[in-house]
Structure 1
Amino acid sequence: MHELGIVFHIIRSVEEVGRANQVRHIRAVALELGEVSGVVEEYLQDCWKWAAARSAMLDGAQLKVRTIPARTVCEACGEVYPTVQYGRQCPACKSEQTHLVQGNEMMIQEIEVDPESEAIPAADE
């Protein structure tokens, strides 16, 4: 299960941004996840709950996942089609000269800060 490693990476990244912006608590993290990224959202959510509970900044934070649909383009005819439905073969011309153009990405889209969270005092205060 590589989802736990992915969650640890997301948490490290979010904590780094939080510290840089003097944030005490994050309410939610929005993640865009490609339909064919190889990440199982159910496992990702389970790992998130476990790992976020161990972070003072992310304890109780929600992971909001938005799925990016997989799209493939055919180099032979230019057709762009849904990858999961048709696979590598173009439904328009039956060519296999295709490549994925969207749907394997994973990006942190938004970090929602708890509005009641006080800023971390600067070291010189």
Structure 2
Amino acid sequence: MHDAIDMDADAFEALVIEELDKLPDDMVDGLDNVVFVVEDAPESGDDLFGVYEGFAITERGQYGMGELPDRIVVYRHAHLAACADIEQLRAEVHTTLVHEIAHFYGIDDAQLHELGWA
């Protein structure tokens, strides 16, 4: 076991933004009406790195103007507890972002595992 990384909310959010900026353009350019949010932990108490809240692009149908944005939430506490150093933290945040963005595109967990992304 290792000691959890100690990083305040502002520094963690800055790291998430840096990792988001490193993702390929073709992955993020298609995101429509999606916001990225950093929270400490899910209200449910579940041990999650992140979650996609919304409708995948493959399920949107008549989705249109006036819809609240979908949310991709990255949870700080789970990431910090799981990572031994900043490099591992960056890698885990990257994986979480790719995973949740994939859900936006309609790729489920089984497909992510098949692709080696989860």
TM superposition score normalised by structure 2: 0.30
Greater percentage in helix: 2
Higher alpha-carbon Rg: 1
